[in-house]
A and B are shown apart, each in its own frame.
Chain A
């Protein structure tokens, strides 16, 4: 018996069904990593808009001290769903989408290691997203215990039905976890096994390093959250007592399960954005990434430290003093590898030839806001300060400087930067700059006031507050509405440019990287012939070739 195909018999290409070459391909079960990447990005952006509208309602309620716009139950569901949607349906899927699109191109692979698993992981996202949204129609409404879902509040049930908003919430989070694990297996395998000839680890772009580091965290820590969620589901629906103090359970145990994943999750979210900065600063400064190897390895250091910091969310919980001290030290240690990166980016633009196009503006703005968030982060790591400000708006402000000021702004930078590659069209620079200006002012107006509010003692998750907090709340709400409006030029830009933008050249930014060697948009199989890589990823200011066979890479 041999496996040699007999001539004349057509063998259906099962592994890679050819996607249709029109808009319909984005609604099909495609296994092309580029199609899946864009599916992730567009789906997550839709949920970003939904989560953003919820935050507009929250900020409208908080514009006056009284709870006078919506009922308290609806308010509680609003902040719960805002947090859940933004984390599980915007940040995670959009980052996975970007990585899906870029990683195989950047390492010279034809696709991800497991294309079908990849598609299956994507399709779980709209499924659990819609599932989560349907909980608004349940008799007791949607989940109202915050995105932490701490028991016993989360297991309290005022109705007779088992199917509550909380039940649906836990189910959605568990499905999201499964989807993320499938993605993580795929990314780690792809990066380890599918690199093009000559693409050694220290020739990989820094972005690939960050995706690699982030996905290792997913593999190591995510099972804890999934386990915790399933135990919580049993407590809520089947009357078990893992976390129920009435029957001898311990609610603090859930906090450990939850934060063992959910703190490292912040690094899963922010690491790829560090990667985006490391890609974009060199291109728009015309200089190599300063200290590339140290920047690359510092991502792995963050991965290592990330699983040793979770208790800093629980200083005020039943945490003994020695544990508080231990986790204070490990938490502050994260400042070292992130500091290395910040200094490297500043050194990268130093003496560079800066071009202030939209992606560069977003990166510069995000860098400054990240430094600010890092400083408040070290304050929060310090136990005495944290005892005062934890669970106040100070934390909310710090967190939003990371998730909007850094991650979402970085995401926009990435979308603008790779938009010509993804669509074969140029975006409109003017609209992009308008988007940046509105977003940068909006972010700071919205989230800076939260710091003085928190220092004064205003708690998070409140639907009404003392009149003395009114001034900064009004400022924050105005900033929030401005931030909401800032997405309008973005949508106009993306839709308009995709439909009728100027055709983009293969490498409009004169960037160095394998993805820029193929046509825009790239052909289905990425590379006609696999690239043979002969040098590092940031050869700006030098005329060394990146690959040996540049001419042969393109199809047709």
Chain B
């Protein structure tokens, strides 16, 4: 290798590094607003993966394009390229580097996961007997205990949320900001998924089983909850609002909801099912939606 080649490689790598760092910064903008403590951790991780990914993708694409533009020959050129069968040092290098990179990325992801401490289904069971678990992310800034507990019910095709302390059932999920929430989730007939893109969190809800789930909303606003596991005909419209608000307005809302009588919630799946005009092509027989849940607080907006 002469000096010119080394300089060329150096410039190429410098451009790649600069571009990759830029892509890593851009990555934050591809995601929804950060509305939970966990979302910040996930976005940092995603930014890192995007930067490394950009380096690899652009690096390889650059090499391929360089070869295509400099090494193409006419169809009448019948000569062969150099007979290069391999290079042991090079092959060890490009096996070892991805191996180390993969270990690094797995370890980093593991650390992020520990900090998130979302406590999926089985973890919580074990954690009750296990003192000294990993501290939650941003735990210092937040009220440690008690957590806010909400029961989540999913059925074909409606969400409802029960607040056991206040005896309130709601069509929207209201949460106080900066306070850790514990959800106890159950489903009626089929698997549903709890997914709020702004929280970056997702957990399947199994029928006839309680799935516990924890996280911390950190930004006031109204977000959308989706069903993330295909649940049949009206899957696409099984949504609900998540309202994250200040502790004061949260308490006010609970109090005013407790004073309301329980009435059937509005249910887009049910109205679509009964509206014959919407049956265009297909129109096959479907599972009938379950009756709308009885709620004290109807959906807002």
Contacts and interface: CB of A to CB of B under 8 A. Distances in A.
Interface of A: 67, 69-77, 139-141, 144-146, 150, 152-153, 156, 158-159, 245-246, 251-252, 285-288, 290-294, 316-321, 324-325, 328-329, 332-333, 335-336, 339-340, 342-344, 346-347, 349-357, 364, 367-368, 371-372, 375-376, 378-379, 382-385, 387-388, 390-392, 452, 455-457, 459, 461-466, 510, 538-542
A385 B106 contact: no
A128 B71 CA distance: 48
A376 B193 CA distance: 22
- Of the four ranges (under 10, 10 to 19, 20 to 34, 35 or more), the interface on chain B belongs to 35 or more
Given A145-B230, A385-B49, A153 B211 contact: no
Contact of B42 (A287, A332, A339, A385): A385
Contacts of B202: 316, 387-388, 390-391
A76 B233 CA distance: 7
Interface in B62-90: 63-64, 67-68, 71-73, 75, 77-87, 90
A332 B100 CA distance: 11
A352 B68 contact: no
13 contacts: A72-B236, A72-B286, A156-B189, A159-B285, A318-B206, A321-B119, A342-B60, A349-B71, A354-B68, A371-B61, A387-B202, A457-B226, A464-B237
B81 A382 contact: no
B281 A74 contact: yes
Contacts of B284: 71, 73-74, 77, 139-141
A488 to B, nearest CB: 26
B121 A245 contact: no
Contact of B121 (A72, A318, A336, A339): A318
A477 B109 CA distance: 34
Interface in B193-209: 193, 195, 197-198, 200-204, 206-209
Contact of A72 (B31, B32, B109, B233): B233
Interface stretch (B2-10, B91-99, B251-259): B91-99
B1 interface: no
B98 A352 contact: no
Given A287-B84, A351-B71, A316 B235 contact: no
Contacts of B78: 510
- The CB with the most chain B CB atoms within 10 A, among A141, A294, A382, A538, is that of A382
Interface of B: 30-32, 41-42, 45-46, 49-50, 53, 56-57, 60-61, 63-64, 67-68, 71-73, 75, 77-87, 90-91, 94-95, 98-99, 101-102, 105-106, 109-110, 112-113, 116, 118-123, 189-191, 193, 195, 197-198, 200-204, 206-209, 211, 224, 226-237, 272, 278-288
- The CB with the most chain B CB atoms within 10 A, among A69, A456, A462, A466, is that of A462
A353 B203 CA distance: 52
Contacts of A251: 191, 206-207
Nearest to A250: B206
Contacts of A288: 83-85
A457 B32 contact: yes
B233 A144 contact: yes
Nearest to A332: B102
Contact of B281 (A70, A140, A321, A382): A70
A355 B236 contact: no
